[in-house]
Amino acid sequence: MFRFAVLFVTALLVGGPAVQADDTMVERLKALNACPGCDLTGADLSEVHLEYVNLKGANLTGTDLTNANLSYTNLIGADLSNADLWGANLAGADLIEANLSGADLSEAALNYANLYKANLSNADLTRADMTGAILKNANFRSTKFCQTKTPYGLDNSGCQK
């Protein structure tokens, strides 16, 4: 019983501050409408409204951003690897050199987003709208395109047959 109590208290002490730090960053983001360079790893930001927010260089690895509104947001150099951006609105967002590897961008609005030098390797762009997006020097290695609207037309190259 004593061992269990020691392990439980140790887990609370070791794990506690990280959870509080994430909550603090999320509250900072919501209060200031900006959080450049902050660590929001794994945060639940689903359905939030973050239009025109400055998240330059932020760590959003594994963050839940389903149905979030990130239109015209500054995500330059942000790490969105393995993030869930299903149905997110990223219209007009600055994603220059952003890391979106492994991200789920299914049904996301990326129209007129700037994806210059962005890493979209292994991302899922099924039914995403990339109309008017800037794609110069973006990495699309192993990216899934299926019913994806691109500046060049409809891309179905990744649809399973």
Above 90 in pLDDT, residue 31?
no
Q: How many domains, the chain? A: 1
**Residue environment code for 31-65, b if the CB has 16+ CB neighbours within 10 A, otherwise e:** eeebbeebbbbebebeebebbebbbbbbbbbbbbb
Does the CA dihedral 47-141-40-50 come out positive or negative?
negative
- Bridge partners (DSSP) of residue 39 are 59
Domain for residue 160, yes or no? Answer: no
* pLDDT tens for each residue of 3-13: 433 333 333 33
Q: Rounded mean pLDDT of the chain?
A: 88
Domain for residue 106, yes or no? Answer: yes
* pLDDT tens for each residue of 45-102: 999 999 999 999 999 999 999 999 999 999 999 999 999 999 999 999 999 999 999 9
Domain of 17, CATH number, reads 2.160.20.80
pTM: 0.85
Above 80 in pLDDT, residue 24?
yes
With pLDDT > 70 as the criterion, what percentage of the chain qualifies? 86
Listed in sequence order, the DSSP H helices in the chain are 2-32
Listed residue (37, 33, 30) closest to 60, CA to CA: 37
Domain for residue 96, yes or no? Answer: yes
The pLDDT of 112-133, averaged and rounded, is 98
| pLDDT score of 30 | 81
Are 31 and 12 contacting, i.e. CB atoms less than 8 angstroms apart? Answer: no
Reading the block at residue 17, the tokens are 């501050």
State the DSSP code for 124: B
| pLDDT score of 17 | 37
Domain that holds residue 111: 1-155
Best-predicted range by mean pLDDT (3-7, 37-41, 157-161): 37-41
Domain for residue 161, yes or no? Answer: no
Question: Quick one: CA torsion of 61, 9, 28, 123, rounded to 10 degrees?
Answer: 10
